[in-house]
Chains A and B, each alone.
Chain A
């Protein structure tokens, strides 16, 4: 059974790799042959040469945006955990504030970026704030769904055992919430990168968003494509980090 699964995984990997290689090849041929394509999309080899020639700046932008996104994700997680617990354990507070929070989500967070940069200035704090703002809601809704999914029988059993609130949270609530929590984190991970990049569009000294923004002004397609690629890699890295953490902390449910 395991052999069949491993074989299927290998086929999927090879097929995915072949499709990606095919797209890159077509892009390279078109970028090399047509001036318009080269002006708009550059080509993979030209983009790679550009990154090699400007490695220091590209790496700095990647690390800077990466740090803003990770800190934003952590801040969003901390606030979502605190607010989720508040909503469930102080239902009155939850019933008043949660609808307001849902209503606040009708404002596209992208629209807030210029205002946030005005308030926080061009430094990293504004980027972290927007990144956290975008990542917060999916984590929160999943945490609340997780806490509400805890079976009442499990809680009653802890009551009969006279377990403390902390013991009940540790042994019943957290294990039941873990899969919901990580589902929210997996959605929020790429969103935190989007939040940081959008904030950088509106004013930054360094970062992937700044690179993409100025590339359009200066008509530098290599810079734009390297920025887009860096953003995608960064989202993948943070998503992978969340998945790694999930496997490490929640191995007891990962194997289900």
Chain B
């Protein structure tokens, strides 16, 4: 499902967070929203989800307003916290999700989904009995209960160690390719964006306009620690865009105390 944003502007508490933002993400893409803290990454994602009403402009998902996709399984959102139902086991969580979407669970789809995310043996676990990684896996399984057209992710793996994060990002991208959905996700990590995104929405720190960078011409990156030269050049370009005119501490002016 294609994502179109036209002249989007958002003000929060009298402060302009996003201003005249227009961009388009093709169907089936994996678009990373990249930027420094406070630049409006989560605000943009929440506007795309229809959870935040913009001051001006329009967000269209496949030509429809975000709220029109609610409840049909067409949109899924992974929040920073897993937001699991604390009174339900992993199996019941997925069963309830199917029920909410009016889908049947007769064909063993719940067990298949649990196995798909590596929770096959943990179906009877409650959230309080799970590790942070297991909770994130269950949240992914819930998001993919009914193959969504759009998956929005607000740093859902930020609390995990780099290895687990890598593993879960791979899992999400594999499921994205299978479901053919468009993913839009927030990250601070340029290398993570280079590894898993087909497009990067670079939100600059200054007043410049956001830029959509197509990464599909880059070679596949399997090891984030050893980037090929093209990826290194792209990393520098993205860093330059998102940091913009932010003042950088001059080494000579740093006073060493103690």
Contacts and interface: CB of A to CB of B under 8 A. Distances in A.
A157 interface: yes
A167 B71 CA distance: 13
Interface residues of A, number: 21
Nearest to A162: B71
Interface stretch (A61-69, A93-101, A170-178): A170-178
A163 B100 contact: yes
A159 B70 contact: yes
Interface in A148-162: 151, 153-154, 156-157, 159-162
Contacts of A55: none
Contacts of A154: 83
B79 A157 contact: yes
A165 interface: no
B70 A160 contact: yes
B86 interface: yes
B81 interface: yes
Interface in B31-84: 49, 51, 70-72, 75-77, 79-81, 83
Nearest to A159: B70
A8 to B, nearest CB: 22
A178 B128 CA distance: 15
Contact of A151 (B51, B70, B83): B83
Contacts of B128: 252-253, 255-256
Contacts of A255: 126, 128-129
B34 to A, nearest CB: 22
Nearest to B89: A252
Nearest to A167: B100
A256 B76 CA distance: 28
B83 A161 contact: no
Nearest to A161: B100
Given A159-B51, A252-B128, A151 B81 contact: yes
Contacts, number: 58
A160 B49 contact: yes
Q: Which of B83, B97, B101 has its CB near the most chain A CB atoms (within 10 A)?
A: B83
Given A161-B70, A162-B71, A167-B100, A252 B126 contact: yes
B85 A153 contact: no
Q: Which of A153, A157, A253 has its CB near the most chain B CB atoms (within 10 A)?
A: A157
Given A159-B51, A160-B49, A162-B71, A153 B79 contact: yes
Interface string B80-102: 11010111100000001100110
B70 A157 contact: no
Given A160-B49, A160-B75, A252-B128, A153 B81 contact: yes
Nearest to B80: A153
Given A175-B86, A175-B87, A253-B128, A156 B77 contact: yes
B83 A157 contact: yes
Interface string A130-156: 000000000000000000000101101
26 contacts: A153-B79, A156-B49, A156-B77, A156-B79, A157-B77, A157-B79, A159-B51, A160-B49, A160-B75, A160-B76, A160-B77, A161-B70, A162-B70, A162-B72, A162-B100, A163-B100, A171-B85, A171-B87, A171-B88, A175-B87, A252-B87, A252-B88, A252-B128, A255-B126, A255-B128, A255-B129
Q: Which 8 A-B pairs have the closest CB atoms?
A: A162-B71, A153-B79, A175-B87, A162-B70, A256-B128, A154-B83, A252-B87, A175-B86
Interface of B: 49, 51, 70-72, 75-77, 79-81, 83, 85-88, 96-97, 100-101, 126, 128-129
